[in-house]
Amino acid sequence: MTRVLHVTEAMGSGVLSLVDSISRRQAEQGADVEVLFAPRPETPTDEALRARFDARVALRRVSTGSRIGDLRALSRAVARAADGVDAVHAHSSIGGAVARLAVRRRLPAERVFFSPHGFAFLRLDLPGPLRYTARIVERTLARRSTLVLTSPSEFALATAELRPARAHLLQTGIPSETVSRTARVADPGRRPVVGMVGRVVHQKAPWRFAAAARALGERADFVWIGGGSADDERRWFGDAPVRVTGWVSPGELAELIDDMDVLLFPSLWEGMSLSLIQAQAQGIPAVVSNVVGNRDSVLDGVTGYVCSDDDALIAATGRLLDDPRLRERMSAAALEWARRALTDDALGRDSLALYRRAAADGTAAETERSRVG
């Protein structure tokens, strides 16, 4: 039985969804899986996490009451657990750094895996010098792990910027049984809805969504599924005609996505957004910014539009609002695309096979080094 330890300090939003997905699929394949995490303010309660994750997946929260204390405790917990597992798979930039440093003298790099889910050096809310430092740190730590990237554009970025010794592409997504069976049919008597899914934070560019709502608000309702601080919502939405739902459950999310006619997803950077994938899988045409992950989830001109500037985002959204038949064609194409390329059905099998291949390569390398020595 393969023993896997997943590690993160970003147990919320998209990272939470991806860790849930990969741990569930690995447990279905018979692996012994544990998720070790330090909480963030948006991390659900232990009860909510237990209800969400597969019952076979062990969950362990490391919490001291302070952020620095949590990271130190997480590092110690990873180091203690490393000797008893076949693979350590870290998620998110800080969690990745903590885990890789914690096991640097305990496990060979071939058995330590890292998925960024959005590299820190892509964060446009950070000063340039800090982004440069993050890139140098990632390049250094890439030598101490095997990179596992979740989209072709993220893989291309990582190999070009970090020059890692080991990097692999692993398809993530949603369960195939959740892909809608029938394409959407436009209702001429219903006012269209333009939606967005995510936290109200800088990364998601809520001001872009607000600008589209101001420009197109007479033609559609605009709904932001998720929430943020009251100050951020006031600052970025202001007087724009946007309804903000606040946090919703997974079941409520599916219903709210189903109410959409268009998804407007204008984020500044991503890894591989499961919310965007879910919308495509529910047959919602998507208008997205041209960033890592987004451009891999939407077929430009077929299942939605990939746009390189703010004006293009608004124009593409307006085009879909004005043409119900175009929305219907893109809905059907999105479902076919989701079934073909956006499911996680093979995630458990493929990730465990990756761990085994990497471990075998590491063992062979260690044996060769021993012979040479």
Domain ranges of the chain: 3-172+344-372, 176-341
pLDDT in tens, the chain (373 residues): 899 999 999 998 789 999 999 999 999 999 999 999 999 988 999 999 999 999 999 999 999 989 999 999 999 999 999 989 999 999 999 999 999 999 999 999 999 999 999 888 988 888 999 999 999 999 999 988 999 999 999 999 999 999 998 999 999 999 999 999 999 999 989 999 999 999 999 999 999 999 999 999 999 999 999 999 999 999 999 999 999 999 898 889 999 999 999 999 999 999 889 999 999 999 999 999 999 999 999 999 999 999 999 999 999 999 999 999 999 999 999 999 999 999 999 999 999 999 999 878 765 344 333 333 3
**Helix, strand, or coil (residue 241):** coil
Rg (CA), the chain: 21
How far are the Cα atoms of 13, 123, 256 from residue 6, in angstroms, in the given order?
A: 16, 24, 30
For domain 3-172+344-372, which architecture applies? 3-Layer(aba) Sandwich (3.40)
Under CATH, what is the fold of the domain 176-341?
Rossmann fold (3.40.50)
Question: The pTM is what?
Answer: 0.89
- Residues contacting 373, CB < 8 A, separation 6+: none
Token pair for 295: 């451009």
Same CATH fold assignment for domains 3-172+344-372 and 176-341: yes
- Residues contacting 114, CB < 8 A, separation 6+: 89, 90, 91, 96, 99, 100, 141, 142, 145, 146, 147, 148
Note whether 223 and 242 are within 8 A (CB).
yes
